[in-house]
Amino acid sequence: MTDNQIALNQLPIGKKANVSALTSDGDTRRRMLDLGVINGTEIEALYKSPSGNPVAYFIRGAVIALRSDVSEQIIVSAP
Amino acid sequence: MGLTNTSTGAGVLSHCGLHIEKETEQDKIVALAGNPNVGKSTVFNGLTGLNQHTGNWPGKTVVNAQGTYRHQDTNFIMVDIPGTYSLMANSTEEEIARDFICFGEADAVVVVADATCLERNLNLVLQTMEITDRVVLCVNLMDEAAKKKIRIDLPRLASLLGIPVVGASARAGKGLDRLMDTVGGLTGSAATLNPLRVEYGEEIEAAIALVESEITDVLQGRINTRWAALKLLDGDDSLLGSLEHYLGFDPTQNTEISQVIAQARYLLEEAGIPADQFRDQVVTRIVKTCEVISRDVVTFEKKEYVARDHRIDQILTSRLTGIPIMIALLFLIFWITITGANVPSSLLAAGLFSLEEPISQFFLWLSAPDWLRAIVVDGVFRTLAWVISVMLPPMAIFFPLFTLLEDLGYLPRVAFNLDNFFRKAHAHGKQALTMCMGFGCNACGVIGCRIIDSPRERLIAILTNNFVPCNGRFPTLIAIITMFFAGTVGGAFQSVVSTLMLTGTIVLGVAMTLFISSLLSKTILKGMPSSFHLELPPYRRPQVGKVIVRSILDRTIFVLGRAVMVAAPAGIVIWILANIHVGDFSILAHCAGFLDPFAKLLGLDGYILMAFILGFPANETVVPIIIMSYMATGKLTDLESMSELHMLFVNHGWTWLTAVCTMLFSLMHWPCGTTCLTIRNETQSLKWTLVSFAIPTITGMAICILVANTVRMLGLV
């Protein structure tokens, strides 16, 4: 497995990846932690909104829409 | 009202300053917690029925609901605490929830969880169990989970967590008896439970033990010391404040405790856990524990269980179809409303106006003075008849349809589709949701703005909510469209044209919402949009029967009742104004004459503008007031169909331009009285209330002046 580190907003639709780092801080970081976004969490990019931003992700059994300013602060390692 | 800090002094503040009335000493207090969207309020309503009352949490603009139920000869007082994902005090809601669980002296805490998304929900459960032992987990939506082939081993879950677990499908009323039994059993016994403790790893555990040993004596068992130690290590300022507020305990004032905390933090840092990573470590451990438990008890019998929802979402939110489908749905709802309302409207009008004669006869038989008959029949009764026949049918159709869409879970998808526009307007993505709530009632939309955390974006959402027409304004728009635009097109296309115009009006309202939000973001409410996440909950089959009953009873009757309350006195006022003459003209004519020059500038006339002013308490009354004013000055008395109404309006100088400007002004003018009061309550500021009054009024006037005078200049009318 090649360790291909990308920001979550770069993850193509339909692909899954595991979180390797959270670069946000403050409120945004805490919100992500509340949703269970921690190192190792699997996230699947589900679909884009009509304009391409936000994007809906599948995170621990829930569908969560994130704007790109939030998702670019989640680093995932794409398998 | 509730006990306040000053009246009782710190330390004896029970129930977090919340006023809880116990009938007897034996009454039990049960806190109800849970993530948002898990059916917590269904559980609450299912248990307490109509024995509820709502207020605000002391000093906060967060709704607090309390209800009571009786079970096995004991009264249970249920306190609904705000729906949150966590108790880490990231928001006011979380702070309230944490404080009530910690200091509210509840006899039990029921945490409601979503069976279809148990893992995420366990986070809150574990955090609650850290604060108190007396927790009951209610796994709700078991029926939804079963449909999605998700099996949950509840006994295993109970033994892993070490707390009672009850499965429920609150919407079908299932499992609530068991929940009451379990809560009764827990609160009735003094047995100590031994709930699962999240293990934070050697280093953090050592630090907790160090601090815990120091604070045990001071806290005297008033709150869980392990949890308090964890939070002190975390340096949770919000909890420090609450500790001082509720227990009169300020650890920073105690040198020994401060020293121990500093020492523990030093040891953690040595062990490779600096302060800024502490909370991450803690959360990570909790989330991992949830993951382990969830793997153990949840079985997905069909892995693709969510695939259907995702496929639906892909269609409803895609680049090509997302927004067109949204507008089509809006169109469909309006079309059903307009076509469906036509017949009952004329039936109601015919029925009510046929009563006019018998009522007049009755007054004659009483030998009552004629002015009394005139006030009651020509004033009050006619206005009421208009309000009911013009307003009731569209409301009774629109409300349930809209609620069905809401129940289905479509509104978050609307927010998802529109988010890009709101982001560009530097507004919050959830403003799309509060805007949708405004379709029902602007006051509800304004209250709904509480879901927006950031004060700047919340204010923008409040100030612009009035740009979407509420249910009270729809009938006005529909009536004018039907009279002036659809009538010229014959047959089956009539309702299509009406619907298209109404949909266009709404789209204009949404566009204005975005434009004004953007303008505010660049001027008096400068700032960047805050980060947020939007949950797209699974679609749920709406309970059609319940929705219809609920929306007709709760909303339609309420709104109609308010309209009637306003319409009756308005009828009297209009009758008096129209029948008392000063000089050659009635007072009504004088008032209208006074307003007329300005109203003409707006493309309206004096009577229309006056109807909007008199309609301030309830927008539903605007068209009936216009009709009454014209009838009071004209000769026509027998009006039972839209075409006769149309004649009445045309005889009073209406052109298509008047109709357009009245619609524009109806879409954009001051918020109704209830909404203004709500804005005052929500913002706690007279200034912002005035601003919220001024923004749509000035916008509407400017647009009306522009449209009216452009059309006149071009000689189009």
Query: Taking CB atoms and an 8 Å cut-off, how many pairs form between chains A and B?
Result: 131
Partner B contacted by A49 (CB < 8 A): yes
Q: Are A35 and B85 inside 8 Å of each other by CB?
A: yes
A9 close to B (CB below 8 A): no
| Residues of A with Cβ-Cβ distance to B283 under 8 angstroms | 33-34, 38
The answer to whether the CB atoms of B534 and A34 lie below 8 A apart is: no
Mutation pick from A16, A29, A51 vs chain B, by most beta carbons of B within 10 Å, is A51
Tokens of B523: 């001027």
Burial of B336 (0-12, 13-18, 19+ CB in 10 A): middle
- CA-based nearest distance A57→chain B, Å: 10
CB proximity list for B237: less than 8 A, separation 6 or greater: none
Mutate to test the interface with A, among B531, B535, B536 (most CBs of A within 10 A): B531
Q: Is the Cβ of A30 closer than 8 Å to some Cβ of chain B?
A: yes
Instruction: Identify the pLDDT of residue B646.
Output: 84
Of the two residues B706 and A25, the one the predictor is more confident about is: B706
pLDDT given at position B638: 55
CA distance B296 to chain A (A): 15
**How many angstroms separate the CA atoms of B222 and B352, rounded?**
65
User: In chain B, which residues have pLDDT < 70?
Assistant: 1-17, 58-61, 302-306, 487-492, 555, 633-642
What gap in Å lies between CA B628 and CA B3, rounded to an integer?
A: 51
More confident residue, B56 or A34: A34
Who contacts B619 (Cβ-Cβ below 8 Å, separation ≥6)? B470, B472, B473, B476, B666, B672
Query: Chain B contact for A53, CB < 8 A?
Result: yes
pLDDT at position B3: 36
Q: Report the mean per-residue pLDDT for chain A.
A: 87
CA atoms within 13 A on the CB side of B685: 10
Task: Please state whether the peptide bond connecting residue B324 to the residue before it is cis, i.e. omega within 30 degrees of 0.
Answer: no
Q: Please give, rounded to a whole number of angstroms, the shortest distance from the CA of A76 to a CA of chain B.
A: 16
Kindly report the nearest CA distance between residue A21 and chain B, in angstroms: 11
Given this model, what pLDDT does residue B635 score? 46
**Count of Cβ atoms closer than 10 Å to residue A46 Cβ:** 22
pTM of the model: 0.80
- Chain A residue whose CA is closest to B123: A34
- CA-only gyration radius of chain A, Å: 11
pLDDT in tens, B394-424: 878 888 888 888 888 888 899 899 888 998 8
CA B423 to chain centre: 22
User: Residue A67 is nearest to which of B90, B423, B537, comparing CB atoms?
Assistant: B423
Of B420, B529, B533, the CB nearest to A51: B420
By C-alpha distance, the chain B residue nearest A52 is B319
pLDDT tens readout for residues B356-394: 888 888 888 888 888 888 888 877 888 788 778 877 888
Rounded CA separation B76/B188 (Å):
11
pLDDT score recorded for residue B9: 33
Interface test with A, best of B533, B534, B540 (most A CBs within 10 A): B533
ipTM: 0.92
